[in-house]
Structure 1
Amino acid sequence: MSRLAPAVPPWLAHALRAQRGPVPWNAVVRGALAAGPLLLVAVLLDRTSVGVVAALGAMLAGINDRPGSRRVSVKRIGVPALAGAGGLFVGTYAGEHTHALVLTLVLTLLGLLAGSVSAIGSVASGAGTQLLVTAAIGAGMPLPEAGWERALAYVGGAAWLLTLRLVLPTPGAVTGDSRLEFWLDFRFDGERAAVAKVYDAIVELLGATGTPRATDRRAALTAALDHAQDALAGPRLRRYASSATERRLHAQYAAALPLAEAATALAWAGDAVPARAAEGPRRLAVAVRANAPTGPLPAPARSAPALRALDDALLRAAEAFDHEGDVHEERLHRRRRTAKSVVRVALGAGGREYGLRVALSFGASAAVAQALHHVHWYWLPATAVFLVKPDLGPLASRVLSRAAGTVLGAVVFAGFAAVLPRPEGLVALVAVCGALIPVATRHFAAQTAVVTVLVLALVMVGGDPQASWSRILETLLACAIVLIVGHLPMPGQRGGRVRGRLAKAGDAAYAYLAHVLSESDDRARRWTLRREAYRTLAEAHAAIGLSAAELPALARHTEGTGEVAATLERLVDTTTAYAVHLDDTGHLTPQDIERLTELLDELTERGRRAGLSRLAPAARRGTLPGLRTAG
């Protein structure tokens, strides 16, 4: 009789899991050309300390150098870099002109601010991280330059990597006969790849319809649409799309929205569709990548409302591909956050809870480090900043990965430091680590190991002695501090980040359902609301998944939220199917109304069990058009 192997606990399974995908060779090249060459130039000019700061800016910018469009990278890399320069400036002057107690208070307040702001989104989180890391470095790292000089050097290093991101073309990304066409068009290779992946995801969803894989394929379609939406939302000099290529890409993305709606409705129905139905979207994906006309598109059968919607969407897509036209800013479906909503997120339950934990971890680490009187005391609070970030995984996973990565990186560096010539060997090591960062970001332990080697090399080039072993000890101490703070009780209900995301997803689902039931003819508005509903659901699922992988003492605070999100997802899927049905027939049956009513009641009950006092769709069911007489 065989014995079953014990199940791996979620917190450990997450620590053992790594992202997969092709090697981002373009980012590897940029990493190799960023920190290392900057440091080399500074050494040759006898301005080593300036080069160390510039290389640090390039390194942290490299961590934010993720796949996507060039214009989006301006915000993704530039905003955190500016925040980092500000942190370096404030930290330098606070470290030079204040007492240790006052400095600890200043760093704690910065932690509260940065932690609260980090709840807004990924760019804000990156900015908060760099603000705190550089504030600690500025306060503790002995450098001859003034605070403003350090800030300029730091921004210069990040700007150098951003320049490489903007000007280096992606080999093979654009097919064009003329060299001029290539140089005019390569700027949009990230947007083109993102839009093409949307059509690929539609094809995969149609192929999975009627199988157990349909749910995962629908989630993959949401992720592809989110990525394309972000890629097309980068900064532009004019309010309207400023080139034919840009207008064409926006039109191609807009044409994918009704196709995605029809494919989702088919998946909801659960019946397998003919293979011919996926051929049209497949040819559209090829046309996007090749920057070429679509040619004739095979029409699917029109035997069901969703198939008829798919056929109509293909006809509109063919027209959009052939005639790019003018795309008004409202039709780009860009997500805007007003100042009021940003403040509401930062001051909400999730922002307050995260801000308090960051402030306590950062402040306590700074206080302990200064009390130990270590020459590299700034490493301890800087390490705590990365450890306290939920973006990088559950707390236990972060601690295990950080500890393992630091030990590995310190041991590897100790071996290199014993044999490499100085400073040229260390400069080469910095360049190699810069090239490895884009690959290492797939796992927090690997990223930590590479960054540890790079930082220790920078410190030694700057004139400090080899510090591998003290780096290990301080990392373990930071792990202990963050573990303690992570389990401390806080004012209000635990799991505020998860509940905030679920409440936002509930509001978006309600807005989408209300618009569909109003039978409005504004389909562009409907697709915008559908995008927001699925996007906020994806964010809620991500937050719930991270919370579920925490240690049991933390995971229990968000029990039941997964069922709430699943119910919301079924509500949005049902709303999508009914939108297509209303387009085709103009009315819903009593059975349709009964199904919606049951879903809303189920949502109310699951929300109550999970401690969510109000979910907008359930609480306001009586205000929905078409449901006022239901029940």
Structure 2
Amino acid sequence: MSWARALKQTARSGLRIERTKLTPLIALRGTAGVAIVIGVCLGLGNPVLAVSSAFGAFSAGIATFQRSWRPRPVLALGVAGGLSVSTFLGYLAAAHFMGFLLLLAVWTFLAGMTWAIGPVSGLVGTQTVAVMLVTVTLPTSVTGALAHAAIIAFGGLVQATLIVLFPIRPWGRQRDALADALAAEADYARRLRDDPVAPFDPQPLMDARLASAMTPRQARRRPIQLHGPRALAEQVRPVLAFIADPVVGVPPEGPERERVRELLRAAATVLDAVAVAIRHAKPVRLPPEAMAVIEVPESGPMLSGAARRSALRLISLLADAVELTDEPIEATRPTTESERGHLLRPSVPKLVPKALRSLRREARWSSRIFRHALRVSAVAAAGYVLGHALPFGHGYWAPLAAVMVMRPDFGQTYSRGVARFAGTLVGVVFGGVVVALAHPGMYVNAALAVCCVLLMYLLLRTGVSVTSACVGAYVVFLLGIAGAGWEQTVQERVVLTLMGGLLAMLSYALFPAWETPRLRERLAQWVEASGRYAVAVFDAYARPAERRPRQVREALLDARAARAAWEESESRAEKEPVRHRGLSLSAAGAAQSALSTMGRVTMIAEAHLPDRDAEPSPGAQAFVDELRRSVEAAAQAVRERRDLDWGALRQTWQKWDGESEGRGGVALRCADLLVDALDDLAQALSRGPGGRNRATR
């Protein structure tokens, strides 16, 4: 992709306004926290302190809107703690230009590295840099610095207290995640009626699993509706895929297919009803026709063989989902030991070793996180120097704008840069016009600033340009409390924001960390993870007595994580102005389709694992051994840009098919489909005459 096209696409992305569900009560609660802090400081007769202290409550409020499964009071307090430390250090060093510049560079580098821990940690790190830059007073003593740090912490404490005192829709995020997973299953069932091999995005199931991980205290208080349905959703998906598949399920046409369509329609209705009940904490409401379909008639579900067993399993799972969801909402139970090992979220102190390991893993030159930390550190220092060299006040706005828009990937950095400048221009012009025409006093400016905060919280998820406009006006009114002239504020804010955005964009062009060259490595990791999942499933057919369900489950989770990493990398690479480096977009799409089919086939095979007392299958054992070797060789071939060869695996399957004499069952048919999917993968990545990927090296 050319630079012109990449810049055009990122600009459009940044200026796009999303339609999203608004949360007015939560926005009001967060705004109340900011208003309380400003009101207290104004009551003490210190407008300058009100301006600087409002940042603590403002940033803590923003953190509570992030997509984190941690309790909201913990997020607010964590942000307040980080802001207090950065405020204290910033005030101590602010009187010495070179000392503050060195502190800013080091602190910004550490904040950039926090993206290795997660997006919420990265955002908190960015906020700590911002509050360090927003230094409007210069205390001359350690006591003064501690006082300002305490005021910043007070803002976070106020937000946390309001969340505890005025809970809004408790467990709402967990309910939404589980409901979204069930709704995705319902949509999948509907699509299977018309397309028996329809794809399914496992991301809602992954989100539901993350939402189910809780602290010990949360686990003791969790509503019973949030206990069982997630596991049922995981079990329903392979059963739906199995009965719909025209190869291992029922024929494409005929009375059995019609019965399957009825079951799929009823399953979609039941899953949607359960999702609505969980989302709104209400009993399940099902239409009579759906109940009639999922009730097992005396003659059975009118199917035969493996399809009949799958239909009975589906009916049982749907009945369990309805029964579990109809439990009293307030009833709770302790988590079991098995859940305790996998679903309990560690406390914040126990996360420290994990965070340190993540930081150590990314501390290498090739890491995009490490490069981002170096990049943002250099830009913050350069912006601070330039901001003070120019004949404006508030020189910190240039590095502040740069730090707030910079992200570890090209697309977000450029789109946020364009959106922030456009939104800031609109916001400061609006605020300047209001101040110029109305000449509001100190308390009116404070009220207008609080109104801007309310709008920003309310529209936080609509886009960066909208929130930047709200923040731009907020800054004008906030500085008006301290008596800053609107003419100077508007001019400074626009010019320095533009400078900061240009510095951020220029830094990525000069010192990039492109995702495109990493696509082959991501694809190889997905091949390896999908292969391990297939090996774990077919090994259960080869050695039923030794099968371990946990091994299959862990392999499935690894495959999902590898797929998510690939999709994230591909999404970033699509926006980058660089060549594809041997993996074109068409080849990447074909490879993704083949690996998705491989995962679907493996999932179907998992739906009918044999009992432990079943006879071992020598053919399946030979297939597993060859599959393990072939997958390892294929992953290496993907990394080295060589053609994939599944000939030996195809021969092993043919031998197994010949020895089975038509009695191979589900495992043999799924193995055939698996080899076909792998052949499609080889064709997608082939560099030969018939291949799809003939890019030059």
Q: In 2, distance between residues paired with 1:536 and 1:92?
A: 44
Q: In 2, distance between residues paired with 1:369 and 1:260?
A: 56
| Residue of structure 2 in register with 1:577 after alignment | 604
Please tell me the residue identity of whatever aligns with 2:39.
L
The answer to whether the aligner puts 1:451 opposite 2:471 as a matched pair is yes
Q: In 1, distance between residues paired with 2:160 and 2:517?
A: 35
Q: In 2 relative to 1, CA 48–528 (structure 1 residues): closer, same or farther, beyond 3 Å?
A: farther
Asked whether the 8 Å contact 1:49–1:143 carries over to 2, the reply is no
Q: In 1, distance between residues paired with 2:640 and 2:295?
A: 46
- Once the two structures are TM-superposed, the CA of residue 16 in structure 1 deviates from its matched residue by 3.9
Matched-pair identity in %: 22
Q: In 1, distance between residues paired with 2:502 and 2:227?
A: 49
Deviations 1:493-515 (A, max 9, x none): 76688788767766654554443
The answer to whether the aligner puts 1:311 opposite 2:319 as a matched pair is no
SS of the residue 2:117 aligns to: coil
SS of the residue 2:318 aligns to: helix
Q: In 2, distance between residues paired with 1:353 and 1:408?
A: 32
Asked whether the 8 Å contact 1:571–1:599 carries over to 2, the reply is no
The answer to whether the aligner puts 1:105 opposite 2:102 as a matched pair is yes
Asked whether the 8 Å contact 1:516–1:526 carries over to 2, the reply is yes
| Residue of structure 2 in register with 1:178 after alignment | none
| Residue of structure 2 in register with 1:176 after alignment | none
**Pairing 1:215-614 to 2, within 5 Å after superposition:** 218-219=200-201, 222-237=202-217, 241-243=219-221, 245-263=222-240, 273-274=261-262, 275-288=265-278, 289-292=280-283, 298-299=294-295, 301=301, 304=307, 307=311, 309-317=313-321, 320-321=324-325, 326-328=334-336, 330-331=338-339, 333=343, 338-339=354-355, 341-348=357-364, 349-372=367-390, 374-390=392-408, 393-418=411-436, 419-438=438-457, 439-466=459-486, 467-489=489-511, 509=530, 512-519=533-540, 521-523=547-549, 526-527=552-553, 529-550=555-576, 552-553=577-578, 562-563=588-589, 568-582=595-609, 605-609=637-641
- Once the two structures are TM-superposed, the CA of residue 478 in structure 1 deviates from its matched residue by 0.8
Please tell me the residue identity of whatever aligns with 1:276.
A
Please tell me the residue identity of whatever aligns with 1:362.
A
Q: In 2, distance between residues paired with 1:335 and 1:345?
A: 22
The answer to whether the aligner puts 1:45 opposite 2:44 as a matched pair is yes
SS of the residue 1:394 aligns to: helix
For these two proteins, the number of residue pairs brought into alignment is 587
The answer to whether the aligner puts 1:130 opposite 2:107 as a matched pair is no
The answer to whether the aligner puts 1:15 opposite 2:14 as a matched pair is yes
| Residue of structure 1 in register with 2:157 after alignment | 159
Q: In 2, distance between residues paired with 1:518 and 1:591?
A: 10
Please tell me the residue identity of whatever aligns with 1:195.
L
Deviations 1:339-372 (A, max 9, x none): 5642344325132122122222222212222333
Please tell me the residue identity of whatever aligns with 1:203.
A
SS of the residue 1:209 aligns to: helix
Deviations 1:12-50 (A, max 9, x none): 442343332221222222233222332123212313333
Asked whether the 8 Å contact 2:10–2:415 carries over to 1, the reply is yes
SS of the residue 2:230 aligns to: helix
SS of the residue 1:435 aligns to: helix
Please tell me the residue identity of whatever aligns with 2:359.
V
Q: In 1, distance between residues paired with 2:621 and 2:243?
A: 21
Q: In 2 relative to 1, CA 409–592 (structure 1 residues): closer, same or farther, beyond 3 Å?
A: farther
Asked whether the 8 Å contact 1:81–1:158 carries over to 2, the reply is yes
Q: In 2 relative to 1, CA 493–381 (structure 1 residues): closer, same or farther, beyond 3 Å?
A: closer
Q: In 2 relative to 1, CA 142–495 (structure 1 residues): closer, same or farther, beyond 3 Å?
A: farther
Q: In 2 relative to 1, CA 549–424 (structure 1 residues): closer, same or farther, beyond 3 Å?
A: same
- Once the two structures are TM-superposed, the CA of residue 581 in structure 1 deviates from its matched residue by 4.0
Structure 2: runs of 5+ lacking an equivalent:
253-259, 541-545, 643-648, 650-667, 679-697
| Residue of structure 2 in register with 1:191 after alignment | 174
Q: In 1, distance between residues paired with 2:633 and 2:125?
A: 40
Please tell me the residue identity of whatever aligns with 1:155.
A
Asked whether the 8 Å contact 2:516–2:570 carries over to 1, the reply is no
Asked whether the 8 Å contact 1:203–1:282 carries over to 2, the reply is yes
Query: TM-score, normalised on structure 1?
Result: 0.79
Deviates more, 1:249-258 or 1:375-384: 249-258
Q: In 2, distance between residues paired with 1:214 and 1:41?
A: 62
Q: In 2 relative to 1, CA 460–569 (structure 1 residues): closer, same or farther, beyond 3 Å?
A: farther
Q: In 1, distance between residues paired with 2:69 and 2:433?
A: 38
Q: In 2, distance between residues paired with 1:333 and 1:503?
A: 29
- Once the two structures are TM-superposed, the CA of residue 125 in structure 1 deviates from its matched residue by 0.9
Q: In 1, distance between residues paired with 2:32 and 2:176?
A: 24
Q: In 2, distance between residues paired with 1:224 and 1:192?
A: 12
Please tell me the residue identity of whatever aligns with 1:516.
V
- Once the two structures are TM-superposed, the CA of residue 95 in structure 1 deviates from its matched residue by 1.3
Q: In 2 relative to 1, CA 538–477 (structure 1 residues): closer, same or farther, beyond 3 Å?
A: same
Please tell me the residue identity of whatever aligns with 1:431.
V
Please tell me the residue identity of whatever aligns with 2:441.
R
SS of the residue 2:94 aligns to: helix
- Once the two structures are TM-superposed, the CA of residue 481 in structure 1 deviates from its matched residue by 1.0
Q: In 2 relative to 1, CA 394–322 (structure 1 residues): closer, same or farther, beyond 3 Å?
A: closer
The answer to whether the aligner puts 1:209 opposite 2:192 as a matched pair is yes
Q: In 1, distance between residues paired with 2:108 and 2:182?
A: 42
Asked whether the 8 Å contact 1:39–1:427 carries over to 2, the reply is yes
Deviations 1:350-398 (A, max 9, x none): 3212212222222221222233364311111111111212479533312
Q: In 1, distance between residues paired with 2:581 and 2:46?
A: 53
Please tell me the residue identity of whatever aligns with 2:269.
E
- Once the two structures are TM-superposed, the CA of residue 316 in structure 1 deviates from its matched residue by 4.7
**Pairing 1:49-60 to 2, within 5 Å after superposition:** 49-60=48-59
Deviations 1:61-83 (A, max 9, x none): 23223277885324444433322
Please tell me the residue identity of whatever aligns with 1:159.
L
Please tell me the residue identity of whatever aligns with 2:493.
R
Q: In 2, distance between residues paired with 1:8 and 1:374?
A: 30
Q: In 1, distance between residues paired with 2:119 and 2:641?
A: 30
Comparing both chains, which one has the higher relative contact order based on Cα–Cα distances under 8 Å and sequence gaps of 6 or more? Answer: 1
- Once the two structures are TM-superposed, the CA of residue 281 in structure 1 deviates from its matched residue by 2.0
Deviations 1:47-106 (A, max 9, x none): 33333233212222232232778853244444333222222222211213x3x2332222
Q: In 2 relative to 1, CA 53–282 (structure 1 residues): closer, same or farther, beyond 3 Å?
A: same
Asked whether the 8 Å contact 1:29–1:435 carries over to 2, the reply is yes
Deviates more, 1:290-299 or 1:22-31: 290-299
Please tell me the residue identity of whatever aligns with 1:250.
H
Q: In 2, distance between residues paired with 1:58 and 1:363?
A: 26
| Residue of structure 2 in register with 1:615 after alignment | none
RMSD: 4.3
